[in-house]
Structure 1
């Protein structure tokens, strides 16, 4: 017997669909409400560490994800300037254990499609253009409103609706993402054959320049600098600005700039950070993933943490027979310290760069977090 028989989920991102898949596989009736009119085909790439890949395997999508992405081991550090000299080749901790690669890059749209298709195949109902606008909870159920109309009563509502979560606001949680002072350009471009793992450049005019392979013919490139108001520039101007700000970086960046000139799509966002203090639930409504916590991608653990939230919550709902305080205590004990460690370390790494702190032990911090993530959530 499961603790729930019907669950509503706000948001069709990785956390929402992961929770939906696991619950539906256990016989729970799951309905996902997504505010956007359709699954987005835009976006760049995503970096996934081994602990995220371990969750994919539990979901039943590891083979599809592996085929759609680009697995790699290790990290290359380069310096700016002519020739883009390699400074170091670093090993990665296998946070998913020996059965999975240390890391993998994927196109975001490919990952979204894989999760959606699998969710529907196990019986999840997904409604697009459906924004959760109300959540009236009692001790035993939640009456959910969608687009300001009644959508049914459920045993639980999971808010996996992202950084600017409506569900978070509906249940009275006032924590909001805060800018960290950094902004990032991202572009989806072709992969030069010599790029076989993530590579980062430190120094020069930007805090970080880098790229991650996402497939045989693709990768995503990024530049991290001081946060600026770049949100209203045209696509063409955005590509021009990213190209100009990458001039100090060479090697594969020559190919990246050629793709930018040819019209590669570019997006710009600010880094944010937040973590909702315990509890993440208010009765039978709970937030997970980016709705509960966000951080700069300096450790590439954002998606992994959302996937772990979903996996742990689903496990507890499946293995227990009541949605009670014991369930929520177990959930928070397993998720809050782990997510907080990732958020705080990710923010600290960025702050050291903003401060120009050359004495900071960035490598030690990254290794320490990786060792924590190597332990199952």
Structure 2
């Protein structure tokens, strides 16, 4: 692109702030519209695998992420009793570390600071109200009364994306998978120096993920009715009941949970936008276009890859439409592969029947997927 662009990013989450930084560093004028009234991040912590850390290096915040989190190199597999079955070294992309666990609020602060430092404008308590596109750009009216003209509008506005509804109505509403994620932050056990995964013949899997020197989170996925919600008075007890067959470090982590409010419960849904992710100068990215189950720990990684590749595509192409077409050609196969394998692993781990296509994907497995995803994209 031979001129600076005006870009509106709807959504100030991980992907949106990464894009804002990448574009502002390249001299583009970027506004980020975030519906929340202030910078905050829901949930507990996330894993940044090596491909995500590669993106963090590219936008200049890798050291900040590592300082705020817990870098690790080895995945430990245990049986339900806690006995170690295997220790699997994790691959690296280039010179980025293998993995980093980080609290979501800490990552939000790192990315927001980087976006502002690069020159992006963050607007809280607002979202897109109306859009009018013509041959020369898009006029966007925000719900806080701000009106502006933009060369590009990007929807990093999550699995419930209002921008996706603007483009496609309810055609691609989130699909509940029948499973939900239970997570809770606890003090890190000294022996937990990387992800510890316990599974067996209990039709369940539990993970411990270090996210700082002091903290780790316990996570587990179970089949749950769509209308189920944990009891606010005994959510910690309900989680204990579901993981009653586990011993070792999982049981030790469970014993530390005394506050039901500390338990974070989220239904696992999926979105697959089968039509183009871009229409004119409007583009969907991250969970708005391709939300996956969490079984490869690649949801946020796919979002930040989307962001970096979009910035690179705008560098390489002469027009916005050409850049969006080139971006989607690079991103769709990889994101859809992650989504398909993540869903297959979910079905396998919970005893749900898989298709022949999913059986082929499962031959790659979680360790194999890590090696696939550190290849250049």
Tell me what 1:281 maps to: 278
Find the partner of 1:225 among 206, 215, 222: 222
Inter-partner Cα distance in structure 2 for 1:238 and 1:229: 17
Superposed CA deviations along residues 115-153 of structure 1, whole A, max 9, x for unmatched, are 001111111110111021222222221111222745211
In the TM superposition, 1:30-41 aligns within 5 A as 30-41=30-41
- 1:290 aligns with 287
Greater shift, 294-303 or 263-272, is seen at 263-272
Aligned to 2:179: 182
Relative to 1, partners in 2 of residues 1:206 and 1:4: Cα closer, same or farther, differing over 3 Å?
A: farther
Taking the aligned partners of 1:318 and 1:61, their CA distance within structure 2 comes to 21
- Report the more deviating stretch, 267-276 or 119-128: 267-276
Aligned partner of residue 261 in structure 1, secondary structure: coil
Q: In the alignment, is the contact (CA less than 8 A) between 2:46 and 2:101 conserved in 1?
A: yes
In the alignment, what sits opposite 2:70? 70
Cα distance in 1 for partners of 2:230, 2:168 equals: 35
How far did 1:4 drift? 4.8
2:100 paired with 1:100:
no
Q: RMSD value over aligned CA atoms? A: 2.2
**Aligned pair count?**
372
Per the alignment, residue 343 of structure 1 pairs with 339
Does 2:316 correspond to 1:332? no
Q: Structure 2: state its 5+ residue gaps.
A: none
For 1:145, the equivalent position in structure 2 comes to: 141
Is the partner of 1:31 in helix, strand or coil?
A: strand
Match of 1:207 in 2: 204
TM-score (norm. length: structure 1)? 0.92
Alpha carbons 2:154, 2:285 under 8 Å: kept:
yes
Structure 1 residue runs without a partner (length 5+): none
For residues 1-377 of structure 1, the aligned pairs below 5 Å read: 1-2=1-2, 4-81=4-81, 84-94=82-92, 96-97=93-94, 99-147=95-143, 149-172=145-168, 174-229=171-226, 232-262=229-259, 265-324=262-321, 326-355=322-351, 362=362, 364-377=364-377
The answer to which of 58-67 and 310-319 deviates more is 310-319
CA distance, structure 2, for counterparts of residue 356 and residue 229 of structure 1: 17
